[in-house]
Copies of this chain bind each other. A is one copy, B any other.
Amino acid sequence: MTIAYDGTHYGGWQIQSNTLSIQEVIEQVLFRLTQQQIPTIVSGRTDAGVHANGQVAHFESEKSISLKSLNSLLPPDIRILSLEEVDPSFHARFSVKEKIYRYHFCTSRVQSPFERGYTLHCLYPLNREEITSASTHFIGTHDFTSFANELDPRRDPVKTLFELSLIPTSSGFTLKFRGNGFLYKMVRNITGTLIDIGRGKLSEKCIPELLALKSRHKLSTTAPPHGLFLDSVVY
């Protein structure tokens, strides 16, 4: 299933004991429809407050479930956009070829009420040329350990970023990330570093140095979650 969600009121994708998660809400609906505990496997968890236009998850069910019945029981801030039967070899996480994230910036003096939960409002000047130039250091295959939080030792920290581009929008700009995989908080940590470079607090020279360090202890700012969207997952 392909899922869009407004992450504002959730503690992220993954089921946790102390907060309501998107996964829990969806699995509750699956239980209500089938009377069976059906675990969902997601392409990758998103953090508290992060949004998705095209998250993907799979599950196994003996009963047939319709898109309409799922959406009619889900809250309006979680929508299943499409639902299709897949080959048993398909795996929402292991079969991922490419993921696209977007981080939205509003650089207008006043942020539109329609963008308030979905763009980072930056009142300080941001040098777009510096950000664009610094972005090129991240493109390619790197060990991204320095830009990850809570690294899982079972996961490979070497990832390939195919694209990191700055796209102007009517109220500011968007950073588009396209890669074969992302470590925990990697997009927000890279974004935070690029903000610091755009503000003149860091020089782009720091990026090759940070990548070479392979240590997350020198991390600069982590950008807040509400500007981030998991845009789509390619299989």
The interface of chain A, by Cβ under 8 A from chain B, is: 4-6, 51, 53, 67, 71, 76-82, 108-114, 116, 118
A118 in contact with B114 (CB, 8 Å): yes
Determine how close the nearest CB of chain B comes to the CB of A7; give it in whole angstroms.
10
A80 in contact with B110 (CB, 8 Å): yes
A79 in contact with B6 (CB, 8 Å): no
Instruction: Give A81 to B108 CA distance when docked, in angstroms.
Output: 9
Residue in chain B with minimal CB distance to A6:
B113
Oligomeric state, in copies = 2
Instruction: Give A82 to B108 CA distance when docked, in angstroms.
Output: 11
- Contact residues in B for A112 (Cβ distance below 8 Å): 4, 53, 79, 81
B6 in contact with A77 (CB, 8 Å): no
- Contact residues in B for A116 (Cβ distance below 8 Å): 76-77
B113 in contact with A76 (CB, 8 Å): yes
Determine how close the nearest CB of chain B comes to the CB of A220; give it in whole angstroms.
28
Q: What 6 A-B pairs are tightest by C-beta distance, nearest first?
A: A6-B113, A77-B113, A81-B110, A79-B110, A79-B113, A4-B112
- Contact residues in B for A81 (Cβ distance below 8 Å): 108, 110, 112
Instruction: Give A83 to B77 CA distance when docked, in angstroms.
Output: 34
Determine how close the nearest CB of chain B comes to the CB of A228; give it in whole angstroms.
13
B76 in contact with A4 (CB, 8 Å): no
Across the interface, A6 reaches (CB within 8 A) one of B5, B76, B114, B118, namely B114
Residue in chain B with minimal CB distance to A111:
B79
- Contact residues in B for A82 (Cβ distance below 8 Å): 110
